[in-house]
Structure 1
Amino acid sequence: MKKLNTVLLALVSVGMTSVATAQQTQVEKNDIYVGARMGAFSADPERVAIDNNAFRAVDNNFSTLATGIEAGVMLSEAWELRAYYEYLEADLELGGNAYGKNYGTDALYHFNDTVYAGLGVVSSEIGGIADKAIRATVGHRSFINDNLAWRIEAGGQKGTDEKYNEMFANFGLQWFFGGRDASPEPRQRPDVAPQPAQSQPEPQQPVDSDGDGVIDSKDNCVNTPADYSVDENGCVLYKNETLREEMLVEFDFDSSVVRKSAMGEIEDMANFMKEHPQLNITIHGHTDSVGPEDYNQWLSERRAKAVGDVMVKRFGIDANRVSYKGHGESQPRTMGDSAAARQDNRRIEAELKIVNRVPVER
């Protein structure tokens, strides 16, 4: 991927040029930033992608271009919390390309003003094959001015499902909100001429026009609803509320035909996706342990695809929002070889959740 190598060389050149003008601006607690990131991703030799309905091996020689955005907040002068999203463009062995995404969060610890390291979780998907991983990062950050910083990072990640071992390196620019003076000068209070004594007016009773418990002189949010809790500034308090939808569909022995009794379960998940169009779904197929392992892997993929087809063709979900993955007999839901245990293991599973910000009631 010559284009990738050219872009990365240009990024490193920009970073090295910025060193000459960098200054040691110290970050502060509650500093917030947004940024852009670009780098390379080295896929595991065992990672495959779906291309024209066939599994293709992904090239693992740092040939996957990763570009994206990030945002973070300084929890203290040493600890930082960051979230990011990357678009992936990967080379496939024997030619062709596959596309995907990375998204995750990191907790970073700063050893000093420039060097940091951290751990995080990331979801990586290339060519329709997704995997979650634990990611370790080391990096360097320097400020170009009080608000703009550049950083360079490298690290690795280990998958939790497929046990992939993968590496990455990237360069980023970050914009910190709120100007901070790297070496503030102390200011002296100006001299004020003494004023002649004046008679003091009678004190007035503080007024709370909207009855939220915060007087008008300190209330930054007027006319707040009476049934909502407010903070010290008179503004509505919010909390995070998690909405979750799960889908479990069982199958007959040696079958990938979706039972009629399962249509209600699938429709509930489809309605949840229609209410939250920003969500995509991955359907996971499973089998019992009866039969050859290769056959069970194929059957698990057929079951996951069969449920996905019902969501698309019967309940109107966009096909681009539905993907599937087979696990064969490797992830039993119930241990044992009884008829009941085998029935529990002939299944597909899927889960979606979303976090909404809702006001706190009194």
Structure 2
Amino acid sequence: MTKMYKILPLALLISGVVHAATDNPWYAGARIGGTNFDSFGGALDGAESSFERDDWGGGAFIGYTYNSWFGVEGGYTYLGQADANTGGGGFEVHGLDLVGKFTWHAAPSFDLFGKLGGYVFDVDNSVNNQDDNGVSATAGIGAEYFFNDDLSARAEYQYYNQVGGSSPGESDVHFYGVSLVYYWGAPEPVAIIEPEPVPEPAPVPVQPEVMKVKALSVNLPFAFDSNALSQSDIDRIQPIAQRLVEYPETKLYVVGHTDSRGSEEYNQKLSEERAAVVAGYLGAHFGINKSRIVAQGKGESEPLASNDTEEGRAKNRRVEVYTPGFEITK
């Protein structure tokens, strides 16, 4: 069992990062289910047959998700009471959980997760009138289904190791139950300006001198799962930046793309972020008005090469930056 808890967080990390079922980082919930007491020790050593070891438990919790695979969670959990078979009273446990939550997004609306952390317990053994408090280790696994971005349900199992002390006694406690969870706190989505159709050039009278200015375009490569501009990218778009400054009536078109790894929803969002980063840099550093910039993401829908090879995927992770050609009459 101990080896499984050590391997679980690493396995979830290596399994890969995909789009989360919800972008809300904060959540709170309540859980209820059954509990079981076993492996008695201390004052309870060998007394398993003297207690009814099954009861109910539950609690409430709040958590924060730091990224797509890790978050922290804390809350109150009541683990029930192992009632004495003769006389009154029993061995009752409640306390506070603080755990790390490791998540694998198995499907767009379905997660698998593991927990690892500590349990600050308070134990009351009314059979021998002894109390104790302290910290024990806890770990668990479960599955979570998202009804929408704000609401989910969980089924989970959690193990609490040797809760109690030598005087009141101690016991392993197993909790199994269901939870209802509410999520909130996602930032408002960034609006993406849909591109306008490139207008057909209007006919112009024949003039003695007409200067044709050619269209400029460049493809900027991006690293896997990145929306960061490199210095070489900035150098490559300088001619386009100078064109926009020199001709204030020209427009800028920025289209982001990704390779096929990851879900379509995640890739669409990443392509929009890449386009927004390039458009934002040109607008901020060269004073280009937002009305002159059209930015959009195409996700994985328009590859330049096959996504079956690393070389092909590298070509597909790109942002196309384009200014149309035009004519100037002198």
Shorter-chain-normalised TM-score: which range? 0.3 to 0.5
Which structure has more strand as a fraction of its residues? 2
User: What's the TM-score, normalizing by structure 1?
Assistant: 0.36
User: What's the TM-score, normalizing by structure 2?
Assistant: 0.39
Structure of higher RCO (CA pairs closer than 8 Å, 6+ residues apart):
2
